[in-house]
Amino acid sequence: MSHPHSTAPWRRAAAVLASASLLALAGCASTTGNSSASDGDIVDGGTLNIAFSYTKGCIDPAQTGFLEDRILASWLVDSLTSQDPDTGEILPWLASSWTVSDDATSFTFTLEDGVTFSDGETFDADAVKTAFDAIWNLGNVGAQAYGYLTGYTGTTVIDESTVQIDFSAPNAQFLQATSTPALGILSPDSYEKTAEERCAGDYSGSGLYTLDSYTADEGASLSRREDYAWAAGSVENTGAAHIANVELTYVPEYSVIVGDLTSGQIDVAWPRNALTAENQELITAAGGSILERELPGLTSVAVPNVTDGRVLSDLRLRQALVKAIDRTEIANTVYFEGYPTPTSVLSSTTPSFFSDEDAYAYDPDGAKALIEEAGYTLGSDGYYEKDGQRLTIDWLLWADIESDTTLVLIQDQLKEIGIDLEIESLDSASATAAVAAGDFDVAGTALTRAEPNILRDLFDTAVLSPSSVGYYSQSVETATELSALLEESVSETDTTTRSATFEEIQQLFNDQVVAFSVNSRLQTIGVAENVHGIAYAAENYTVLNDAWIDAD
CA 280 distance to own-chain centroid:
23
Residue 10, pLDDT score: 32
- Collapse the DSSP code of 451 into the 3-class scheme (helix H, G, I; strand E, B; otherwise coil) and give the result: coil
Which neighbouring-strand residues pair with 81?
92
> DSSP assignment of 76-122, as one string?
H---SEEE-TTT--EEESSEEEEEE-TTS-EEEEEEPSS-B-TTSPB
The gap between the terminal CA atoms of the chain, to the nearest Å, is: 48
Look at residue 428 and tell me if it is in a domain. Answer: yes
Nearest to 544 by CA among 135, 259, 215, 270: 270
Residue 15, pLDDT score: 32
What is the pLDDT tens value at each position of the chain, 552 positions in all?
A: 333 333 333 322 333 333 333 333 333 334 555 566 666 789 999 999 999 988 889 999 999 988 899 999 999 999 999 999 999 999 999 999 999 999 999 999 999 999 999 999 999 999 999 999 999 999 988 888 998 999 999 999 999 999 999 999 999 999 999 999 999 999 999 999 999 999 999 999 999 999 999 999 999 999 999 999 999 999 999 999 999 999 999 999 989 999 999 999 999 999 877 777 788 899 999 999 999 999 999 999 999 999 999 999 999 999 999 999 999 999 888 887 778 999 999 999 999 999 999 999 999 999 999 999 999 999 999 999 999 999 999 999 988 777 788 999 999 999 999 999 999 999 989 999 999 999 999 999 988 899 999 999 899 998 888 888 999 999 999 999 999 999 999 999 999 999 999 999 999 999 999 999 999 998 889 999 999 999 999 999 889 999 999 976
Look at residue 355 and tell me if it is in a domain. Answer: yes
- As a whole number of angstroms, the distance between CA 298 and CA 344 comes to 9
Residue 22, pLDDT score: 30
- As a whole number of angstroms, the distance between CA 91 and CA 233 comes to 5
Domains contained in the chain, number = 1
Strand-strand pairing, 389-390 and 548-549:
unpaired
Which neighbouring-strand residues pair with 516?
302
Look at residue 53 and tell me if it is in a domain. Answer: no
> DSSP assignment of 192-228, as one string?
GS-HHHHHTT-----SSEEEEEEETTTEEEEEE-TT-
Look at residue 283 and tell me if it is in a domain. Answer: no
- As a whole number of angstroms, the distance between CA 62 and CA 195 comes to 10
CA angle 534, 535, 537 (to 5 degrees): 145
Look at residue 481 and tell me if it is in a domain. Answer: yes
- As a whole number of angstroms, the distance between CA 541 and CA 178 comes to 15
What single-letter DSSP state applies at residue 187?
A: P
- Beta-carbon contacts of 40 under 8 Å, excluding residues fewer than 6 positions away, are 532, 550
Residue 66, pLDDT score: 84
**Alpha helix segments (H runs only) across 249-330:** 254-262, 277-285, 315-324, 327-330
Alpha-carbon separation of residue 192 from 197, 203, 233 (angstroms):
10, 9, 30
Look at residue 475 and tell me if it is in a domain. Answer: yes
Nearest to 536 by CA among 293, 325, 296, 283: 293
- As a whole number of angstroms, the distance between CA 160 and CA 519 comes to 48
- As a whole number of angstroms, the distance between CA 458 and CA 469 comes to 8
- As a whole number of angstroms, the distance between CA 422 and CA 415 comes to 11
Say what angle helices 495-512 and 476-491 make with each other, to 10 degrees: 170
Nearest to 70 by CA among 252, 187, 266, 207: 207
**Alpha helix segments (H runs only) across 331-399:** 364-373
Domain of 319, CATH number, reads 3.10.105.10
Task: Give the residue numbers spanning the domain of 428.
Answer: 300-520
- Collapse the DSSP code of 248 into the 3-class scheme (helix H, G, I; strand E, B; otherwise coil) and give the result: strand
Dihedral Cα 87, 88, 94, 97, nearest 10 deg: -80
The model's pLDDT over 347-381, given as tens digits with 9 standing for 90+, comes to 999 999 999 999 999 999 999 999 999 999 999 99
- Collapse the DSSP code of 70 into the 3-class scheme (helix H, G, I; strand E, B; otherwise coil) and give the result: helix
DSSP H helix total and E strand total for the chain: 17, 26
8 Å CB contact between 323 and 370: yes
- As a whole number of angstroms, the distance between CA 246 and CA 50 comes to 7
Most distant CA pair in the chain: distance in Å? 78
Nearest to 298 by CA among 448, 442, 177: 448
- Beta-carbon contacts of 488 under 8 Å, excluding residues fewer than 6 positions away, are 501
Nearest to 519 by CA among 25, 15, 21, 4: 15
Look at residue 382 and tell me if it is in a domain. Answer: yes
pTM above 0.85, yes or no: yes
CA angle 159, 132, 194 (to 5 degrees): 125
Residue 31, pLDDT score: 52
What single-letter DSSP state applies at residue 308?
A: T
Dihedral Cα 218, 220, 221, 225, nearest 10 deg: 180
8 Å CB contact between 8 and 402: yes
8 Å CB contact between 451 and 148: no
The model's pLDDT over 260-299, given as tens digits with 9 standing for 90+, comes to 999 999 999 998 777 777 888 999 999 999 999 999 999 9
- As a whole number of angstroms, the distance between CA 47 and CA 50 comes to 10
Look at residue 380 and tell me if it is in a domain. Answer: yes
